[in-house]
Amino acid sequence: MSIRNKHSAGTTALDIAIIGGGSAGISLATKLKNRSAVVIEPRTPTERDCSWALWANPAQQQQFASSTRGSWQQWRLIDHHSEVLHQTDQYRYTSLSSADYITQCENQLPEGVDLIRAPAEDIAPEGNGGLFSAAGKHYSASQLYDSRPPAMAEQGLKQHFVGWEIRTKSPISDPQIATLMDFRVDQSRGLHFIYVLPFSDRQLLIESTMISTQLEDRDWYLQAMIEWLETQNIEIEETLREETGVIPMDAITPVDSNIACIGAASGAVRLSSGYAFTGIQAQIAKLARGISAGDFTVPAPISPGLIRMDRIFNAVLMAQPELGPSIMMRTAKALNGDGFARFMLGSATIADWARVILAMPKMPFLKQVWRL
């Protein structure tokens, strides 16, 4: 029996179907007005709980307050030679609970938009829409959007990490400061740093993060965290949870190239940093406005110019990974807190770019400019 015949009897017609209920999919679902739609996601929010980070402006601080785990007006980057401490009044480095955010969105779905807690099956794209099954029922949609995580190039650059949320035996120093990158760890396998977000003086998230083409064994990341904690005289009282992740910083392949992709699957991950949440939210807000006006086209999440700059940066890392800590420290030293936040968000001013370019080692970047 063909998929068309299989779906012909008892098929529910929809305006929009969103496959995948992560950051992009569930955010879009909450913004659909006067549309019949479903978002299809088999996992509960707690089954995929992780931390999302952004530099939040005042409006975003209020918008995401209910899912915020912690926020910091100060952050630092450290290597063996120096420390850069940034402070800003405009932005706060903010950590969100994905489970809290997604749960909130699921509870705020507008009338006519439903959540199906099941996988999408028998997907048959047709034009902009298509047919599919979920939870034993058949559906047709005039417009399909796919927010499922894309596949990554096997030899492509990736940001990968293992982290623990821990409770410490005694209060830590400087809980008001987020440590975004501490490079005083093994750099022999790629750009490697420790990332620390203190939620209080006795509770923090620590991650061992690598930027390279190859993943490491779990124990390798754990050993780096243990050694860093020892150097800081921090003793663990309890490990509350473990978090792992792999973020693409190179070419991606959508699950189905015949379906319009949103979020990470559309290239919304910032290639040079791995940050995605802010870009996804901007893309989804613009898409929702378009849908309200009858335009279902997915906006490009990142400008071509910024993508090119990020590819040059990544090419330098691939060719000379030992330069990674120096490049990041030079970037941080060239900018104040607001400028650094703008740069990492992808909204740097011309002046911000000029300061960063002047601070960079010239030959490694010029070589990659000519090659790309």
Per-residue pLDDT of 194-240, as tens digits, reads: 999 999 999 999 999 999 999 999 999 999 999 999 999 999 999 99
Backbone angles phi, psi at 47, to 5 degrees: -70, -20
Please, are residues 270 and 156 in contact by the beta-carbon 8 Å criterion?
no
Please, are residues 58 and 45 in contact by the beta-carbon 8 Å criterion?
no
Query: What does the alpha-carbon distance between residue 183 and residue 193 come to, in Å, rounded to a whole number?
Result: 5
pLDDT of residue 1: 35
Query: What does the alpha-carbon distance between residue 56 and residue 89 come to, in Å, rounded to a whole number?
Result: 11
Q: What's the average model confidence in pLDDT over 315-338?
A: 94
CB atoms within 10 A of CB 177: 19
Q: What's the average model confidence in pLDDT over 353-357?
A: 95
As a whole number of angstroms, the longest Cα–Cα distance in the chain is: 69
pLDDT of residue 9: 58
Query: What does the alpha-carbon distance between residue 365 and residue 359 come to, in Å, rounded to a whole number?
Result: 12
H-run or E-run covering 61: helix 58-63
Query: What does the alpha-carbon distance between residue 263 and residue 327 come to, in Å, rounded to a whole number?
Result: 28
pLDDT at 353 over 50: yes
Band the pLDDT of 7: cuts 50, 70, 90. low
pLDDT of residue 316: 92
For the stretch 115-139, pLDDT in tens is 999 999 999 999 999 999 999 999 9
Query: What does the alpha-carbon distance between residue 246 and residue 158 come to, in Å, rounded to a whole number?
Result: 7
**Residues whose CB is less than 8 angstroms from the CB of residue 79 and which lie 6 or more positions away in sequence, other chains included:** 183, 184, 325, 326, 329
| Percentage of the chain exceeding pLDDT 90 | 87
Query: What does the alpha-carbon distance between residue 267 and residue 218 come to, in Å, rounded to a whole number?
Result: 27
Please, are residues 211 and 316 in contact by the beta-carbon 8 Å criterion?
no
Instruction: Indicate the length of the chain as a whole number.
Output: 372
Residue type, 125: P
| Percentage of the chain exceeding pLDDT 70 | 98
Q: What's the average model confidence in pLDDT over 339-360?
A: 94
Q: Is 86 helix (H, G, I), strand (E, B) or coil?
A: strand
Count Cβ atoms within 10 A of the Cβ of residue 239 and give its class: 0-12 exposed, 13-18 middle, 19 or more buried.
exposed
pLDDT of residue 47: 87
Q: State the average pLDDT for the chain.
A: 93
Q: What's the average model confidence in pLDDT over 67-83?
A: 97
Q: Give 98's DSSP letter.
A: H
pLDDT at 61 over 60: yes
Of 310, 190, 172, residue with least CA distance to 233 = 172
pLDDT of residue 3: 43
Query: What does the alpha-carbon distance between residue 272 and residue 160 come to, in Å, rounded to a whole number?
Result: 13
pLDDT at 2 over 60: no
Which domains are present in the chain?
3-48+98-150+253-292 (3.50.50.60), 58-96+153-248 (3.30.9.10), 304-371 (no CATH)
pLDDT of residue 13: 95
Please, are residues 20 and 261 in contact by the beta-carbon 8 Å criterion?
no
pLDDT at 54 over 70: yes
**Structure-block tokens of residue 122:** 């028998």
